[in-house]
Amino acid sequence: MYFSNLLAPTLREIPAEAEVVSHQLLLRAGFIRKSSSGIYTYLPLGMRVIQKIEAIVREEMNKAGGQEILMPIVQAAELWRESGRWDVYGKELFRLRDRHDREFCLGPTHEEVVTDIARTNVYSYRQLPLMLYQIQNKYRDERRPRFGLMRGREFIMKDLYSFDRDEAGLDVSYQKMYEAYTTVFKRCGLDFRPVEADSGAIGGNVTHEFMVIAESGEAEIVYCSSCDYAANVEIAPGLPTENPPESPQEMAKVATPDQTTIAQVTEFLKLPPQKFIKTLFYQADDELIVALVRGDRNLNEIKLQKLHRALNLELASAEKVKELTGSQPGYVGPVGLKKVKIYADEEIRTMVNAVCGANEEGYHLINVQPEKDFQVFAYGDLRFIEAGEPCPRCRAALQSARGIEVGQVFKLGTKYSQALEAKYVDENGKENLMVMGCYGIGVSRTMAAAVEQNHDEHGIIWPLSIAPYHVVIVPVAVEDEVLWEESVKIYQELQKRKIEVVLDDRDERPGVKFKDADLIGYPIRVTVGKKFKEEGKVELKLRHEKDIRFLDDAELCNFVEQLVTTRCEGDWRHVCYRHYSSV
Ligand code: 9G3
């Protein structure tokens, strides 16, 4: 490809609306352009990366036994009514009507559609296990689309659905997908971790998320440095720590004028935050509930939602709190609360002489004894686990990191086969519900995650296996016959060897071409300049390295072919040359 033909509108300036690096660089390097909020066009460079990721995904899904199909984006409301989800999802579900006024949605996911296919076409145990997948646009009307492709309203997902005879079969399918995902993300050259995750409203019990480690990740994970434990903090268990024993004192009310935050009150009373009971009020569906955690901890709302089994959970308003306690949030506490369920983190149970709000403006209570001075409806693990705490599996200190969720695998069980009556007949002629799993990879999000993880101040550093092109050739002066001839010669030789190469044929200063080459992030740059005229050598520079090699064009083509072959097709275990030991 000659660069002058390539539609790659690079930008000098950082677009104002781009908050994260991948969004900035994919825009500046001419990979994507916004069509509307959260909806993008993939320009040629972006499309080539998407196609590379899809090719890797397809290969691994096929290897694992998946059969590719393509399901409709436009889905009939009837199916979603059968599954009971039409009314569960609110504004996030894009809805539309056809010319006959019939209701449809734009598919945010395809459990209903694929289960409908299974119930219509699968009837015998001989047809199981079955794995069907697609790579298709998904639509979710995010309230705040941002971070470019990382949280779009239209995005490309590979979603695979497995159908098995029973749980044992599902375990096999799940394991196959788990391993296939590990291969996919390794081949994409990503530093990722599978983490235990929250199955959320989707139901089912076991689920793992594949997280690309990146500071800009929206998810927080904890992982162990010495065993392979890793979990999304949403579900990581907070083990209760013992509170130091002391003799219980008489409860008393103390004036704490204008001391409303934990920091202020503990400072004022000269007590550590561990002595404090943090009291939070939540609207759980149509019920007001109270949650207590120790002053130095943070409440994990996902865990509270699970303990109380709420569909919807949000912080109660200040007026609701005032209505119930007679006080502003800064002075609230569990003592004296009536007719409200109090949930408490395990660590509250063993607190002695605790401090909490007195439910009276300007006052707190000291020497409060849980169980004696207030009744807890239910204790549970309600807190966020923190870095440094012992690993739930091997006790080593946990580390925390931020991650971008690029894949997730779910055990669905019979949630959808029950709702849609997807059954098969077994060898005894008995009808059974199919047991399902579902497995998603965010293809467009994976492209963004790759940039988050592979960039520097000059631009993107594509892993070779998903780079839009492998090589860019930069003649330092196109009007110089000798340099041009040599550039075209190398260009043609590399193409003959199936290397994907761009020849920057613009009549521009070398500096401009180098800037664009670094911004776009070609893994390999070949410069044809003075050295060629003097010594017949061309320069080769890997995007992720500093040093430059000088080779004659035969050595160069062999080197490039060897590098691309080992890091892309063949031995993909070294796909990400970034870990390349020696060349
Ligand atoms: C909706 C809307 C948004 C949604 C869903 C449904 C997320 C929904 C969960 C999944 C689970 C798996 C198959 C591929 C892997 C993920 N957001 N989920 O079900 F109606 Cl508006 O999509 N689906």
* Dihedral sign for Cα atoms in the order 208, 214, 215, 217: negative
Atom 22 in ligand 1: residue holding the nearest Cα:
109
The values of phi and psi at residue 49, to 5°, are -70, -45
What pLDDT does residue 36 have?
97
CB 344 within 8 Å of CB 381:
no
The CA 201 to ligand 1 mean position distance, Å, reads 10
pLDDT in tens, 115-157: 999 999 999 999 999 999 999 999 999 999 989 999 999 999 9
* Mean pLDDT value across residues 431-452: 98
What pLDDT does residue 177 have?
98
pLDDT reading at 578 higher than 80: no
The CA 138 to ligand 1 mean position distance, Å, reads 9
CB 32 within 8 Å of CB 13:
no
What pLDDT does residue 200 have?
64
Those residues whose C-beta lies under 8 Å from the C-beta of residue 481, and which sit 6 or more positions away, are none
Those residues whose C-beta lies under 8 Å from the C-beta of residue 248, and which sit 6 or more positions away, are 352, 353, 367, 369, 372
Atom 18 in ligand 1: residue holding the nearest Cα:
109
Q: How far is CA 362 from CA 295, 326, 544, in A?
A: 18, 12, 60
pLDDT in tens, 495-512: 999 999 999 999 999 999
The values of phi and psi at residue 176, to 5°, are -60, -45
Atom 8 in ligand 1: residue holding the nearest Cα:
109
Residue 576 banded pLDDT, cuts 50, 70, 90 = very low
pLDDT reading at 573 higher than 50: no
* Ligand 1 proximity of 440 Cβ (cutoff 6 Å): yes
pLDDT reading at 571 higher than 70: no
Residue 240 banded pLDDT, cuts 50, 70, 90 = confident
The CA 493 to ligand 1 mean position distance, Å, reads 47
pLDDT reading at 348 higher than 70: yes
**What count of other Cβ atoms lies within 10 Å of the Cβ of residue 263?**
12
The CA 141 to ligand 1 mean position distance, Å, reads 12
Query: In terms of Cα–Cα distance, which of 521, 517, 405 is closest to 466?
Result: 521
Atom 9 in ligand 1: residue holding the nearest Cα:
202
Burial class, 411, CB count within 10 angstroms (exposed 0-12 / middle 13-18 / buried 19+): buried
CB 189 within 8 Å of CB 543:
no
Query: In terms of Cα–Cα distance, which of 334, 319, 320, 336 is closest to 287?
Result: 320
Atom 16 in ligand 1: residue holding the nearest Cα:
440
Residue 577 banded pLDDT, cuts 50, 70, 90 = very low
What pLDDT does residue 579 have?
36
Beta bridge partners of 548: 541
- Mean pLDDT computed over every residue of the chain: 93
* Ligand 1 proximity of 524 Cβ (cutoff 6 Å): no
Determine the 3-state secondary structure of 349 from DSSP: helix
Cα–Cα distance, 565 to 531 (Å, whole number): 27
The CA 108 to ligand 1 mean position distance, Å, reads 6
Give residue for tokens 């992982």.
Answer: 223
* Ligand 1 proximity of 109 Cβ (cutoff 6 Å): yes
Q: What is the pTM of this model?
A: 0.90
The CA 139 to ligand 1 mean position distance, Å, reads 10
Q: How far is CA 327 from CA 312, 337, 369, in A?
A: 25, 12, 21
What pLDDT does residue 569 have?
61
Tokens of 496: 């003959």
Q: Measured at the alpha carbon of residue 210, what is the angle toward residues 146 and 65, in degrees to the nearest 5?
A: 120
The CA 109 to ligand 1 mean position distance, Å, reads 5
Beta bridge partners of 404: 212
Determine the 3-state secondary structure of 502 from DSSP: strand
Residue 570 banded pLDDT, cuts 50, 70, 90 = very low
The values of phi and psi at residue 416, to 5°, are -90, -35
Stretch among 4-13, 53-62, 404-413, 562-571 having the lowest mean pLDDT: 562-571
* Ligand 1 proximity of 408 Cβ (cutoff 6 Å): yes
pLDDT in tens, 70-101: 999 999 999 999 999 999 899 999 999 999 99
H/E/C letters for each residue in 516-529?
A: HHHHHCCCEEEEEC
**What count of other Cβ atoms lies within 10 Å of the Cβ of residue 2?**
12
